[in-house]
Structure formats: structure tokens, C-alpha cells
Structure 1
Amino acid sequence: MEQRSAHHATFTVERTYPATPERVYKAWSDAEAKARWFTPAETFDFRVGGREYSRGGPPDGPVFTFDACYQDIVPNARIVYSYVLDMDDKRISASVTTVELHQAEGGTRLVFTEQGVFLDGLDTPEQREHGTNVLLNMLGDALRSESEAS
């Protein structure tokens, strides 16, 4: 019999970007802008009750499926979404994520908080927090590239 487990955890990651809250919000709310730093979505319906769905991963596998539903959106200030993450055909986590955008000196302070349940030892809070740091660094790179292009 397969060993089952559910590990609950919360983590918060903060970044300050040299961009306005409007630009950082657009990087989350616009499908084309988000695809510059996140797996391009097959479905992208950015509204309360809307869904974002994407699949991807390294060329030699596994395939990760991100399936999110937007729960709350305050333009240029807050995004709340719930999502499940699958690895191939196994559910590895279910989470609620809040992205807060605050005006800061020289730009925007982003506060990313994830509350998750990590299933059956297939993922851990530490791995997810590491992956979130990588993604938020990629967001910063995309915002810098956009600034340099303008």
C-alpha cells in the first residue's frame, strides 16, 4: 500500500522591483506579459472565478500541470488564487497564494504568501519556496528587460 501524507506549511517571499505597481500587476494579469517569466498558459482567464492552466517541464520530464482559479483581484494591489500542482499523473500539492503589491521607494514591494498542503512526500515547502524564488527572480528579469526596451 502506498504511504500517504499531507504536510501543511506557509511561506512568504518578498521582492522589491524597480517598476510601478501597475507594471508589476500587468506582469501577472496579462497573458503575454506573464509568459515572459512563467510557463505560457493554455488557458488564461484573469478575473475573479477565472482559470489559469499550464503544463510544462524539462525536456526529459516530468510534466508539471498548474491549474489555478482566481479568488480575489484588486487591480495594482492584490491577487489571490488557489491552485493544484500535478507532476505527471500525481497530485503533489494544493495551495492558496496571495500576491500583494505595495508602492515602495523606487518601485514596488511584492509580498508573495503561499499556504499549501504538500502531498505524499512528492513535494516539500522548501522545494516550493525555492521554485517561487526562482520565478520571482525571472519576473524581475522580465521587468528589467521591458524597462530597457522602452
Structure 2
Amino acid sequence: MTGRSVTRATFGLERLYPAPPARVFAAWADPAAKARWFAGAAAEHELDFRVGGREVNRGRHEEGTALTYTSVYHDIVTDERIVYSSILHAGKNLSTVSLTTVEFGPDGEGTRLLLTEQATFLDGREEPAWREQGTADWLEGLGAELLRGAPGEPGGRG
């Protein structure tokens, strides 16, 4: 027995945000905004938001293991859709490979966001439930970022 395993999972998350799709999309595209809601204060974050561009988030697990999350953007339709693939390394070990689609649609005066992730989890280094919870947590962070207000709006900070 090699101790190797593959677990496949797909999950979908839906959120309603009280901001128009252009503003929600902009929170994904702007490096400073994305770092605030996605990366966390202790992480190193880089964002090149364009088709073929990369995003890298480096941090540490609470146990001290270095975590590196790298994404490549494959499709970007402004204010409508983002498609990217990602890999997660825990130390030097590849843990997860995934494909994520994020869709933005109007919902009254706000936005309905649909995120679908298809992932392959390798050798028990990450579990599907952990990834789904982590993704839900950063979508909550996106909601908090949107409440900060956009630059130029009353109460907005940039």
C-alpha cells in the first residue's frame, strides 16, 4: 500500500450581496480589495487579474505548515463570470487541484453570486469539507469588504 489517495468533490455556494454586480466583480479584480477579503492580514498576496494572469496567496496553517495557493485565470467576462484553476501546496506537497467558476448576476439592486468548485484532493492532505468551509468563509469576507463601501461613495474607503 502506498498511502496515496484521490478524493473528488464538487460543491456550489450561493451568496446575495447588497451591491451591483460591477462592484462585486471589482472586489475580485482590485488587488488591494482582494487581499483584504481573501488573503488575511498575515498572508502574502499577489494578483494579476487578467486571462492568463496568476494569483498567489502564501500563508501558514495554524499548525505552522506553509500553505501556497496559486490560481491561473482562464476566462474573465467583466461583471459576469470568472473561471480559474488552482493548486494548493502544503509545504512541498501538492494537496489539491481545482477548477472554479464564479458567476455574477443582478438580483434586484444587488448581486447573486454563484461559485462552483470541482476539486481533486490528494493523499488526505485536505478534505472537501475543509475547502468548502474555507471558501464560504472568504465569501463572508467579500460581504464584509462590500460593506466597507466603494471609494467615492458615502462612507466608502478604498
Q: TM-score range by the shorter chain?
A: over 0.9
Give the drift of 1:43: 3.2
Aligned to 2:20: 20
Code of the residue aligned with 1:36 in structure 2: it is R
Tell me the alpha carbon deviations over residues 61-109 of structure 1, each in whole angstroms, 9 at most, x when there is no partner: 1221011100000000000000101112211100000010010023000
Aligned to 1:102: 105
TM-score between the two structures when normalised by the length of structure 2 = 0.88
Give the drift of 1:117: 0.2
Give the drift of 1:146: 2.1
For structure 2, which runs of at least 5 residues remain unmatched after alignment? none
Code of the residue aligned with 2:78 in structure 1: it is P
Code of the residue aligned with 1:75 in structure 2: it is T
Code of the residue aligned with 2:38 in structure 1: it is F
Aligned length: 150
Aligned to 2:10: 10
Code of the residue aligned with 1:149 in structure 2: it is G
Give the 5 Å matches for 1:1-150: 2-39=2-39, 42-58=45-61, 61-146=64-149, 149-150=155-156
Code of the residue aligned with 2:8 in structure 1: it is H
CA distance in 1, matches of 2:8, 2:62: 30
For structure 1, which runs of at least 5 residues remain unmatched after alignment? none
CA distance in 2, matches of 1:41, 1:51: 14
Aligned sequence identity (%)? 47
Q: CA RMSD in A?
A: 1.7
Code of the residue aligned with 1:25 in structure 2: it is F
CA distance in 2, matches of 1:45, 1:8: 28
Q: Is the 8 A contact 1:7 1:119 kept in 2?
A: yes
* SS at 2:37 equivalent: coil
Q: Is the 8 A contact 1:41 1:52 kept in 2?
A: no
Runs of 4+ in 1 over 4 A off after TM superposition: none
Give the drift of 1:3: 0.5
CA distance in 2, matches of 1:52, 1:101: 20
